[in-house]
């Protein structure tokens, strides 16, 4: 592969003087659970980050096009976010919600102002998995119903409730789960029965939600939950009208609608601040994590006052939820998103990336599908465009090749056949052009 120069970077990383990658790997193998996986044939050790850039222990620089798995929203170690965390750390690191503290209320008010309608009551937790678990609890309490409709190819977390909602065998252990959860057909235009050329695909896919309600439940449900664009499933976009019709079926059966915005929120899709807004719907409960804290362990469930009130029936408590440090970070992240117009950057550079990726599709037969919105884009690889047989090995080789060329990307899909890119939302056009050039070289070498 030919070398492709990285865009210039003004930051000079501090020299790394810690243990070697080999020592860290040996320590990890002895003391960490083997289920905690690493990317790449030869694991990479990241020791420093600045905005869209990462450095390994040898001083090699990488463009982070995965954003810590769609988590670093405004840039690694953004100075405003770092300063907010540092200032709060020096004053008070922890106080539970049993006591008053100004940070949690300030953050909740600012976060609620980004959401439509009566979505204005927040409950802070630590991860997207916890958020979805709590959303299910609220939905079941509010409706008095138990059954939940989720989607095949979805990912909603690794805890018991999240695993039950998830419909991808790679993430589901052979233990009891999914009680009361029924999975409807995925509105996956590339692989599904209704393709991109069907203008009524959204309604047709949503009909299966009604079928599942009619045939697999009592006819009454607690909730319908969906990501606004499937993340782990391979950045699968829903056809126009799908969520509108699916929400209609769910509400007719007594259920509330939950939007999982863990990956799609905070302006990443470009056209709107929240992914569900791209579909013209307003959910009853919204879950969010990842980009909300730019890497800090922070997540939230935002809902209406009526639904939120159901938690007053018993005692519910989260030890670290609403921690003053992470709330200061969350507020700082919202400040940066507004001040630096990151949503507009996602819109403009997302269009630029998608146009470039579609040109690569014309050039490389390995690419079966290009999709996404804003700075959340995917490339699905196939061995044959007619049969659409997944090209898992080729995708993995492209990931390896990109790493060698200084670009970090992710994978997704049931077979690991889709490259996922969701870089920090501050990247530049030069960075986007570098991504395209590296992918061109990496795919050509893999083919």
Could you tell me if residue 280 is inside a domain? yes
Q: Are residues 370 and 321 in the same domain?
A: no
**Residue 229 shares a structural domain with residue 98:** yes
Query: Distance between CA 361 and CA 359 in Å, rounded?
Result: 5
Based on the domain organization, do 154 and 101 belong to the same domain?
Answer: yes
Residue 135 and residue 275 in one domain: yes
Model confidence at 80, in pLDDT bands (50, 70, 90)? very high
- For the chain, the average pLDDT equals 97
Q: Mean pLDDT, to the nearest integer, of 82-94?
A: 98
Please report whether residue 14 resides in a domain. Answer: no
pLDDT score, position 110: 98
For the entire predicted model, the pTM comes to 0.97
Ranges assigned E (strand) in 11-52: 46-50
Is residue 33 domain-resident?
no
pLDDT at 137: 98
Interacting residues of 425 by C-beta distance below 8 A, sequence separation 6+: 73, 74, 75, 266, 267, 268, 337, 342, 343, 345, 346, 375
90-98 long-range contacts, Cβ below 8 Å, gap at least 24? 91/324, 92/324, 93/323, 93/324, 93/325, 94/320, 94/323, 94/324, 94/325, 95/323, 95/324, 96/317, 96/319, 96/322, 97/317, 97/318, 97/321, 97/322
3-state secondary structure of 316: coil
Whether residues 334 and 391 fall in one domain: no
Phi, psi of 23 (to 5 degrees): -65, -40
Q: Is the residue at 355 inside a domain?
A: yes
Region 300-305 average pLDDT: 98
Res 411: pLDDT: 96
Q: Say what the pLDDT of residue 407 is.
A: 98
Is residue 272 located within the same domain as residue 140?
yes
Question: Do 246 and 288 share a domain, yes or no?
Answer: yes
> Average pLDDT for residues 201-208, to the nearest whole number?
98
Q: What is the pLDDT of residue 297?
A: 97
Confidence of residue 382 (pLDDT cuts 50, 70, 90): very high
The pLDDT, as a whole number, for residue 117 is 95
**What pLDDT band is residue 445 in, cutting at 50, 70 and 90?**
very high
**Token pair listed for 288:** 């969010």
- Specify whether 83 is located in the same domain as 171: yes
pLDDT tens for 103-158 read 999 999 999 999 999 999 999 999 999 999 999 999 999 999 999 999 999 999 99
CATH of the domain at 395: 3.90.1150.10
Q: Are residues 145 and 226 located together in one domain of the fold?
A: yes
- The residue-averaged pLDDT of 201-226 equals 98
| Mean pLDDT calculated for residue range 296-304 | 98
Answer yes or no: do 333 and 363 share one domain. no
The percentage of the chain sitting over the pLDDT mark of 70, rounded to a whole number, equals 100
Q: Of 72, 166, 104, 127, which Cα lies nearest the Cα of 301?
A: 127
For residue 24, is it within any domain? no
Domain that holds residue 208: 79-339
Q: Which of 283, 318, 339 is the last residue of a domain?
A: 339
CATH number of the CATH domain containing 84: 3.40.640.10
Choosing from 339, 359, 376, the residue where a domain stops is 339
Domain membership flag for residue 3: no
Strand order in 367-373's β-sheet? Answer: 367-373, 376-381, 418-421, 410-412
Q: Which two tokens stand for residue 254?
A: 């007594």
The residue-averaged pLDDT of 401-430 equals 98
Is 20 within a domain? no
Whether residues 212 and 110 share a domain: the answer is: yes
What is the per-residue pLDDT for 106?
98
- Residue whose pair of structure tokens reads 């009454």 in the numeric block: 220
Alpha helices in 315-417 (DSSP H): 324-339, 342-363, 392-404
67 part of a folded domain = yes
Whole-number pLDDT of residue 304: 98
Q: Same structural domain for residues 319 and 345?
A: no
Q: Of 339, 364, 394, which one is at a domain's C-terminal end? A: 339
Return d(Cα 21, Cα 43) in angstroms, integer. Answer: 8
Average pLDDT of the segment spanning 391-401: 98
Q: 């470009």: which residue's tokens?
A: 270
């Amino acid at each position: 592969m030919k070398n492709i120069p990285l865009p210039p970077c003004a930051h000079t990383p501090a020299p790394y003087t810690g243990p070697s990658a080999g020592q860290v790997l040996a320590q990890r193998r002895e003391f960490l659970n083997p289920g905690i996986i690493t990317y790449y044939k030869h694991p990479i050790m990241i020791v420093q980050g600045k905005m869209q850039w990462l450095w390994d222990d040898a001083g090699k620089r990488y463009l982070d096009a995965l954003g810590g798995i769609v988590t670093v929203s405004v840039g690694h170690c953004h100075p405003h976010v770092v300063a907010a965390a540092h200032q709060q750390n020096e004053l008070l690191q922890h106080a539970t919600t049993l006591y008053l503290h100004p940070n949690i209320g300030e953050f909740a008010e600012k976060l609620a102002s980004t959401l439509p309608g009566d979505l204005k009551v927040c409950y802070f937790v630590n991860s997207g998995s916890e958020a979805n678990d709590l959303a299910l609890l609220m939905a079941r309490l509010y409706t008095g119903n138990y059954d939940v409709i989720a989607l095949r190819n979805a990912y909603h977390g690794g805890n018991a409730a999240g695993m039950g909602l998830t419909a991808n065998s790679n993430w589901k252990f052979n233990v009891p789960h999914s009680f009361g959860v029924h999975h409807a057909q995925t509105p996956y235009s590339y692989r599904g029965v209704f393709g991109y050329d069907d203008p009524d695909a959204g309604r047709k896919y949503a009909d299966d939600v009604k079928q599942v309600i009619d045939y697999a439940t009592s006819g009454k449900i607690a909730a319908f939950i969906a990501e606004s664009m499937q993340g782990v499933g391979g950045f699968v976009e829903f056809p126009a009208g799908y969520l509108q019709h699916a929400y209609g079926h769910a509400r007719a059966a007594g259920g509330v609608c939950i939007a999982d915005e863990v990956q799609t929120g905070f302006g990443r899709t470009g056209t709107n601040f929240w992914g569900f807004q791209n579909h013209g719907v307003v959910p009853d409960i919204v879950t969010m994590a990842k980009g909300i804290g730019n890497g800090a362990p922070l997540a939230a469930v935002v809902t209406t006052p009526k639904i939120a009130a159901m938690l007053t029936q018993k005692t519910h408590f989260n030890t670290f939820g609403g921690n003053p440090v992470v709330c200061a970070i969350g507020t700082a992240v919202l400040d940066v998103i507004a001040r630096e117009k990151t949503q507009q950057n996602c819109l403009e550079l997302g269009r630029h990336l998608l146009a470039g990726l579609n040109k690569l599709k014309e050039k490389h037969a390995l690419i079966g599908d290009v999709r996404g919105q804003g700075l959340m884009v995917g490339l699905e690889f196939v061995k044959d465009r007619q049969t659409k047989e997944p090209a898992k090995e080729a995708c993995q080789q492209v990931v390896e090749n990109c790493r060698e060329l200084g670009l970090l990307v992710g994978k997704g899909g049931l077979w690991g056949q889709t490259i996922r890119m969701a870089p920090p939302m501050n990247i530049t056009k030069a960075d986007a052009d570098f991504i395209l050039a590296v992918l061109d070289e990496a795919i050509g070498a893999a083919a």
